[in-house]
């Protein structure tokens, strides 16, 4: 099974720029590349920060594009999103009984669980008791599960970013639930950090995906200011086979040279042109 993971598209009112970039052009380029090379994907999953300022026009532009998308799409909201505005445009999008954009589905033999970690008027992640109860109920009957969310649920070692991770008072109970179910959770995928970070969390592997816009520059000293630059964007191709997961990072906007070389031993022999 192939999955596509995109995050932090930060759409604006069409025509407006964000961070010096046209986020709609970047997102369109990503979709064009995906549809050309990975049209066989089972899901296209976008883990939040759909609209940079949470405006209806940005969500309407997103909906218009996704209505033409052949690969089934699953959406989450992030700290830049407005839940009410999102639900107003995506009126048929599933939510839990409390109105959070928590939803889940079974794909193959695995329960895909999509989490809403957003709290109004803060960029930090929240997942309080009501949301945790919803996730606990999903995990109780799932034989296998794969989690997707916006905020990183753990500290990453980048102090400025960790200020807006899942808040400490929610991080502990969330971690405890993951630890208790680590034998049935295959992976945790998230966005938010605008960088590829990989590791394990409570015994479960995790990976974050870069943004389709600006990328973060990990600064492991700066305590408050997030560092970023308009570097090349990427998305993830997630390949799942017999319980194993492989993730490829795809630099879809690269327009520089690409060199082809064989895999035989002699293909890597030192050429005469390299000799003094």
Encode pLDDT of 193-234 as tens digits.
999 999 999 999 999 999 999 999 999 999 999 999 999 999
Per the CB < 8 A criterion, the answer to whether 197 and 215 are in contact is: no
pLDDT above 80 (res 156): yes
Region 55-66 average pLDDT = 98
Residue 55 CB: number of other CB atoms within 10 A?
17
Nearest to 204 by CA among 123, 160, 249, 139: 139
Per the CB < 8 A criterion, the answer to whether 151 and 123 are in contact is: no
Give CA–CA dist 200/204, Å, rounded: 5
Phi then psi for residue 33, to 5 deg, are -65, -45
Q: CA quadruple 12, 192, 211, 86: dihedral positive or negative?
A: negative
Give CA–CA dist 220/193, Å, rounded: 13
DSSP symbol at 3: E
Give CA–CA dist 134/97, Å, rounded: 9
At CB < 8 A and 24+ separation, what contacts does 225-231 make?
Answer: 225/160, 226/160, 226/161, 227/160, 228/19, 228/194, 230/19, 230/20, 230/21
Render pLDDT for 98-138 as a digit per residue (tens, 0 to 9). 999 999 999 999 999 999 999 999 999 999 999 999 999 99
- pLDDT for residue 275: 74
Tokens of 147: 């989690």
- pLDDT for residue 1: 96
pLDDT grade, residue 54 (50/70/90)? Answer: very high
pLDDT grade, residue 162 (50/70/90)? Answer: very high
Q: Which CATH superfamily is domain 2-255 in?
A: Metallo-dependent phosphatases (3.60.21.10)
């Amino acid at each position: 099974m192939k999955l596509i993971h995109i995050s932090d598209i930060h759409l604006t009112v069409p025509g407006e720029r964000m961070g010096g970039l046209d986020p709609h052009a970047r997102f369109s380029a990503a979709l064009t590349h995906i549809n050309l090379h990975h049209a066989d994907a089972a899901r296209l999953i976008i883990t939040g920060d759909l609209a940079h300022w949470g405006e209806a026009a940005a969500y309407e532009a997103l909906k218009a594009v996704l209505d033409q998308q052949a690969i089934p799409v699953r959406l989450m909201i992030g700290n830049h999103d407005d839940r009410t505005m999102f639900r107003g445009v995506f009126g048929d999008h599933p939510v839990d009984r409390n109105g959070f954009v928590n939803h889940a589905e079974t794909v193959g033999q695995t329960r895909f669980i999509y989490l809403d970690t957003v709290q109004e008027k803060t960029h930090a992640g929240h997942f309080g008791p009501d949301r945790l109860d919803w996730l606990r109920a999903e995990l109780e009957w799932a034989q296998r599960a794969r989690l997707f969310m916006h905020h990183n649920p753990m500290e990453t070692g980048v102090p400025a970013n960790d200020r807006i991770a899942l808040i400490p008072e929610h991080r502990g109970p969330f971690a405890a639930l993951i630890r208790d179910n680590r034998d049935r959770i295959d992976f945790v995928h998230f966005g938010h950090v605008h960088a590829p970070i990989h590791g394990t969390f409570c015994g479960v592997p995790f990976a974050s995906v870069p943004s389709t816009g600006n990328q973060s520059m990990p600064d492991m000293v700066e305590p408050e200011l997030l560092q970023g630059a308009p570097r090349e964007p990427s998305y993830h191709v997630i390949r799942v086979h017999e319980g194993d997961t492989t993730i490829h990072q795809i630099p879809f906007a690269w327009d520089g040279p690409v060199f082809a070389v064989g895999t035989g031993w002699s293909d890597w022999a030192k050429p005469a042109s390299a000799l003094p």
